[in-house]
Structure 1
Amino acid sequence: MLWTRYAAIGDSFTEGVGDPYEAGAAGGGWRGWADRAAAELAARSNGSGPHGAAANGSGSPGFGYANLAIRGRLLDRIVDEQLPAALDLKPDLVSVSGGGNDLLRPGLDIDALAARMDEAVAAIRATGADAVLFTGVDPVGSPVIRRTRGRVAVFNEHLRSIAARRGAFVVDQWSMDVLRDWRCWSVDRLHMSPEGHRRVALAMLEALGVPGAGDWREPALAPLPELSRGAQRLANARWARGYLAPWVGRRLRGRSSGDTVTAKRPVLAPIE
């Protein structure tokens, strides 16, 4: 199937944080798996979308892509703010990823979180558009975030159930062992590196059944040298001071890294 109107909604994962454009490319800023996947979809588009007229809203046939994701967003704001704006664009494909920031908070009602995601997917499917969901990555290797592993696993089961019930696609990041390698993550251990984003883009295209885009499993990564316990403790302490403490501080002040951020691609536009 060919899609010609793709809208992405979510948090920093979908915004592309951790995967910068090269200087001077696409106006700078963050790239990310959604931009990468959109470029591949655009290359395969024949410009005749199912919603008629121009796929990019410019009056001429072509592929249109919007990315309304904003870092730090909880799922409620993604569903309440980004989803209606995305559906107003009349997309034929919507990727929705959210809940990761919610799962970091204690006392979360996972069933209620899943109900909100189900609401979002139902709204997307009601328009006739296809929907793509993303399970959470297995955080077993993270010294702090691994404490959320049980919650992530339960939410993942909800996501798989929602996808089966609503007829949505699923990118199963939990089963992508390569994403447990720190080379797929930025130094903050919270956002993916360019390599991680590249592999997720390929995994999404695979889930959609897009042929010839590449294999997210390749190239295989050679094992990293094993650190001593002392070196691991030192690295973890530096990470906690440099990245975990500021994150906790923002939470305590009721602030988010996305408070002053706006969507990087709020309307459908061609891929440059």
Structure 2
Amino acid sequence: MNNLFVIKIGGNVIDNPAALENFLADFAAIRAPKILVHGGGKIATRLGDKLGIESKYIDGRRITDDETIDLVTMVYGGLVNKKIVAQLQSLGCNAMGVTGADGNLVPAIKRPVEEIDYGWVGDVAAESLPASRWQLLLDNGIVPVLAPLTHDNAGHILNTNADTMASSIAVALSAVYSTRLIYCFEKKGVLEFVEDEHSVIHTITKASYARLKAEQKLFAGILPKLDNAFAAIDAGVKEVLIGHADDLLQNTTETTTGTLITA
């Protein structure tokens, strides 16, 4: 099987032009099939403030009303996505900007209203994700750059979690490629001691994860990321890596510097 890297970058990279430039240079240098999934950063919030559109959050999750979905569609699918594509093209990387709505690349449903109405927010319908369409792009030398937007099959754009989109794509393509899913965030990896930036746990298996949780060695905020990582591995992804954006190239090799999560 050929290797495939599905790489997700967060807002901390997108919000810093110098960090984004360095990251994209490294991404362009990866000599293997690859997909980039990006979030939106704080750009939508800043632009919304200028336009008089208030940002509303519940438990850290954006409420996406009618005005906000227009805003994030413009920013995520337009401004952020196309700037990334243009920079990658300048580096000789044949990038193509897409959303989950384009070609129905990431099917989704509108999140049902339960205790909270999140508005125009989508949940990925992973079982329907068309791996063959992604493979068609990759086989033709195209590097997809995916913005975190989907649609509801009724003509409405949906704001959708980029981490979940990346994981779902990695799972869908794991039957065709040996897939490493890489989450780039602000730490060097999963830390054994949250106050010690150098205490990176370089490998976590299911067995060691159970032990670390029992010993309460991991801070609570990382547990959902690890649970999602093992869910992806259970669904066919070979490896998941959590590390810093600055270490991207190293983390596409066999001698990783972040936290490599395996079965």
TM-score by length of 2: 0.33
* Bigger helix share: 1
Please state which structure has a larger fraction of its residues in strand. 2
| TM superposition score normalised by structure 1 | 0.32
